[in-house]
């Protein structure tokens, strides 16, 4: 099996970065600051999709990037060519330093991939020489932002659809290029989708492929005379028989008169080609008057030949209504013909489905068994970016922060550990950030938890269980085995199940609490005041 964490794009490397990272690295080096010990946090400030949770993804890809990080001779030559255009007296020794740069002195702490995460809690903590940690910023954000966004989107679709519905990712043709398509297929699967139409993603990530046929297949047939072959092996008689003839007899038996002959021919042809996985697209002409009756005719004949048809796909119109009408028709014919296998027909729906559509379907008590979802999932139309950031929080063993008039953009300083508190029912209560040098919180203690920015918002918590979220994953090299995608997929679902329902509901979800320890709160606010200017009014 292919490595699910490999960098699938040859562009991922040391030069996949913003140019200002290179210019800053030169400035650090020129000023002798490049080896200053530093700590950076990679985090986000707001949950996506108007929700109150985010699922962290992309750690595996980020670690693979670190494993392969280096500046090649070609990279160095290119950097020389562009940097010397800006300054012809550039110190060429910088390029020797860059060529010999490694990550042997870098440490990375991370929450587990698939962790349900919340604003301001670092997803990654990167420690090491200032210039080198700076060079990692853009690529780490690139590998984490989109991955976390798509995974979160997929989880929300799974919540909206319910645990028993199949979710099929159909986004390849609408994705932002092949790179976006491959990444989105992977992370949609981690978030709870069951299969993908993307054959390359199926191969690389070992995801079940899914697909039937398009309208073009239907419209390519005008009549049954277009069928070049009409024979199908009959499992019950153990010989090839004229399948078309049997279908036409079944149609007569069912008294079907309005169905489109070309559509019926297409269904017959597809059934002959794929008798074990026959699923028909039924909305090319008229879903209820032609598509569904034609499907039933061919499906009953397949059953007669010893096969089990799969179902129908609805791709236009009022999908909830059509699913109920199709189910009623199929069930009625199943009872009339005394053929219970027909009643097992699977109904698939597609056509610009999004999260709100799924919730609306539930209110309408639809009869859909599976959803094929493409554009809105793969492109994250409701929100196009997670907005992850990478901030310096400690330099030369001293905490530092970015001050802003927008309070939400002020970074929380220092090297921090984060603990998740659980109640007696093993449900997450809140996340508490503490200075790494302070003793860890203990189960059963009465612990003061402070809102990061609002002084009067504070609470005592007595946790029944405490989980340290950050783990050392990189110490000059990978030090922790990364879990397989099936483990991550299950881990995500178990966490979502453990959250309070009000945190994950669609409308007005309750914010999850992220707090600071008393000690970190005072360090933060003391530094905030010290770094903030004081106005003078005359």
Is pLDDT above 80 for 281? yes
Is it the case that residue 415 has pLDDT exceeding 70?
yes
* CATH of 212-368 given 3.10.620, 1.10.8, 3.20.20, 3.30.70: 3.20.20
Q: Is 46 exposed, middle or buried (0-12, 13-18, 19+ CB in 10 A)?
A: middle
Spatial distance between the Cα atoms of 218 and 260, rounded to a whole number of angstroms: 10
SS3 content of the chain, % helix, strand, coil (to 5): 40, 20, 40
pLDDT of residue 405: 81
> What is the CATH code for 19-154+383-531?
3.20.140.10
- Residues 177-226 have pLDDT tens digits of 999 999 999 999 999 999 999 999 999 999 999 988 999 999 999 999 99
Average pLDDT over residues 131-160: 97
Task: Give the pLDDT score at 4.
Answer: 44
Q: What is the phi/psi pair of residue 120, to 5°?
A: 75, -15
Tell me the two tokens of residue 479: 């030090």
The helix/strand count (H/E) of the chain reads as 18, 22
Residue with tokens 């798509």: 150
Q: Would you call 8 helix, strand, or coil by DSSP?
A: coil
User: What pLDDT shows up at residue 2?
Assistant: 41
With both helix axes pointing from N to C terminus, report the angle between 137-161 and 59-67 in degrees, rounded to the nearest 10: 160
Judged against a pLDDT cut of 70, whether residue 6 lies above it is answered with no
Q: Report, as an integer, the average pLDDT of 312-340.
A: 97
Tell me the per-residue pLDDT of 72-126, one tens digit each, with 9 for 90 and over: 999 999 999 999 888 878 999 999 999 999 999 999 999 999 999 999 999 999 9
pTM for the model stands at 0.94
Task: Please write the tens of the pLDDT for every residue from 357-412.
Answer: 999 999 999 999 999 999 999 999 889 899 999 999 999 999 999 888 888 889 99
Determine contact, residues 14/112, Cβ cutoff 8 Å.
no
- Using the predicted structure, report yes or no on whether residue 234 has a pLDDT greater than 50: yes
Phi, psi of 33 (to 5 degrees): -100, 0
Which pLDDT does position 8 carry in this prediction?
A: 59
Q: What confidence tens digit (pLDDT) does each residue in 161-179 have? A: 999 999 999 999 999 899 9
CATH 3.20.140.10 region(s) of the chain?
19-154+383-531
**CA separation for the pair 61, 33 (Å, rounded):** 29
What are the residue ranges of CATH 3.20.20 in the chain? 212-368
Residue 60 host element (H or E): helix 59-67
What confidence score (pLDDT) does residue 212 get?
87
Q: Give the tens place of pLDDT for each residue, 240-258.
A: 999 999 999 999 999 998 8
Could you tell me what percent of the chain has a pLDDT over 90? 91
Mean pLDDT over each residue of the chain, to the nearest integer = 95
Strands 416-422 and 428-435, sheet pairing: antiparallel
Q: Smallest Cα–Cα separation from 319: which of 279, 372, 270?
A: 372
Using the predicted structure, report yes or no on whether residue 523 has a pLDDT greater than 70: yes
């Amino acid at each position: 099996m292919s490595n699910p964490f490999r960098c699938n794009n040859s562009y991922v490397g040391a030069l996949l970065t913003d140019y200002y990272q290179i210019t800053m690295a030169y400035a650090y080096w020129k000023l002798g600051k490049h080896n200053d010990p530093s700590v950076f946090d990679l985090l986000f400030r707001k949950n996506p999709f108007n929700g109150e949770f985010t699922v962290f993804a992309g750690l595996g890809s980020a670690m693979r990037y670190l494993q392969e990080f280096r500046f090649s001779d070609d990279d160095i030559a290119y950097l020389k060519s562009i940097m010397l255009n800006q300054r012809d007296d550039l110190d060429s020794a910088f390029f020797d330093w860059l060529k010999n740069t490694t990550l042997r002195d870098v440490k990375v702490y991370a929450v587990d991939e698939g962790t349900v995460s919340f604003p301001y809690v670092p997803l990654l903590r990167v420690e090491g020489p200032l210039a080198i940690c700076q060079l990692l910023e853009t690529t780490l954000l690139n590998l984490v932002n989109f991955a976390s966004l798509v995974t979160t989107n997929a989880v929300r679709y799974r919540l909206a659809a319910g645990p028993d519905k199949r979710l099929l990712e159909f986004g390849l043709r609408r994705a932002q290029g092949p790179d976006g398509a491959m990444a989105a297929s992977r992370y949609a699967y981690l978030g709870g989708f069951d299969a993908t139409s993307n054959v390359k993603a199926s191969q690389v990530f070992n995801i079940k492929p899914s697909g039937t046929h398009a309208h073009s297949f239907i419209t390519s047939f005008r009549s049954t005379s277009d069928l070049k072959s009409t024979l199908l092996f009959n499992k019950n008689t153990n010989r090839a028989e004229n399948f078309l003839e049997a279908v036409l007899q079944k149609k007569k038996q069912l008294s079907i008169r309005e169905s489109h002959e070309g559509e019926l021919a297409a269904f017959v042809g597809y059934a002959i080609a794929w008798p074990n996985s026959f699923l028909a697209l039924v909305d090319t002409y008229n879903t209820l008057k032609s598509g569904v009756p034609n499907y039933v005719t061919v499906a009953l004949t397949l059953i007669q030949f010893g096969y089990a048809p799969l179902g129908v796909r609805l791709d236009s119109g009022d999908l909830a209504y059509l699913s109920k009408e199709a189910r009623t028709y199929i069930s009625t014919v199943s009872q009339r013909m005394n053929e219970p296998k027909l009643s097992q027909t699977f109904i698939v729906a597609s056509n610009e489905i999004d999260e709100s559509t799924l919730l609306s379907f539930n209110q309408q008590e639809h009869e859909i068994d599976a959803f094929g979802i493409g554009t809105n999932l793969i492109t994250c139309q409701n929100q196009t970016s997670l907005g992850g950031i990478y901030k310096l929080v400690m330099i030369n063993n001293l905490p530092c922060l970015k001050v802003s008039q927008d309070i939400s953009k002020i970074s929380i300083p220092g090297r921090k550990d984060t603990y998740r508190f659980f109640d007696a029912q093993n449900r997450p209560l809140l996340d508490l950030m503490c200075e790494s040098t302070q003793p860890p919180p203990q189960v059963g203690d009465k612990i003061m938890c402070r809102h990061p920015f609002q002084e009067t918002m504070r609470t005592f918590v007595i946790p029944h269980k405490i989980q340290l979220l950050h783990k050392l994953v990189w110490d000059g090299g990978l030090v922790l085995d990364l879990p397989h995608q099936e483990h991550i997929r299950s881990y995500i679902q178990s966490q979502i199940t453990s959250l309070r329902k009000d945190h994950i509901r669609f409308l007005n979800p309750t914010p999850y609490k992220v707090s600071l320890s008393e000690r970190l709160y005072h360090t933060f606010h003391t530094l905030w005041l010290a770094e903030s200017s004081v106005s003078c009014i005359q």
